[in-house]
């Protein structure tokens, strides 16, 4: 089974993923925040870095894993929230967006959708408090 946790930055996705994995003995899969070589650059210059790698290798590992996986951000947010918003606001060109969506479409023909997606909703003050508490300057 594949469970994806979705929500705004600072909404508690990683915390819920950790708690569910610990409680049920599931395999946690965390967003590569500390090991993503493009994330800080993305926040500094969104138009330059909005065409990020989709993480196909990670998706293949999820698809091949037979344990129950709980994931703290899925590719679906990357595509339907971040890429779509970057395109809509002009931070991603139409050409890049079309290529990005083509790659995503090809990947989803090979892979399965999550069995369950949980969306975490939080107020802006709560999100800001959590983001500031982490101390990541680029956020």
Residues marked active site are found at 72
Per residue in 33-49, is it b (16+ CB within 10 Å) or e — as a string?
Answer: eeeeeebeebeeebeeb
Q: Is 24 helix (H, G, I), strand (E, B) or coil?
A: helix
Counting other chains too, the contacts that 55-60 makes at CB distance below 8 Å and 24 or more residues apart are: 56/103, 56/107, 58/29, 58/32, 59/107, 59/111, 60/110, 60/111
């Amino acid at each position: 089974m594949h469970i994806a946790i979705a929500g705004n930055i600072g909404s508690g996705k990683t915390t819920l993923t950790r708690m569910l994995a610990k409680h049920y003995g599931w395999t946690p899969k965390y967003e590569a925040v500390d090991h993503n070589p493009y994330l800080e650059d993305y926040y500094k210059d969104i138009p330059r870095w909005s065409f990020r790698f989709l993480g196909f290798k990670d998706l293949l590992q999820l698809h091949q894993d037979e344990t129950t996986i709980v994931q703290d951000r899925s590719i679906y947010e990357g595509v339907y929230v971040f890429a779509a918003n970057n395109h809509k606001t002009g931070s991603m060109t139409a050409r890049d967006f079309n290529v990005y969506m083509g790659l995503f479409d090809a990947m989803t023909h090979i892979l399965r959708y999550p069995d369950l997606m949980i969306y975490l909703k939080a107020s802006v003050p709560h999100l800001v408090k959590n983001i500031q508490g982490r101390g990541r300057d680029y956020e």
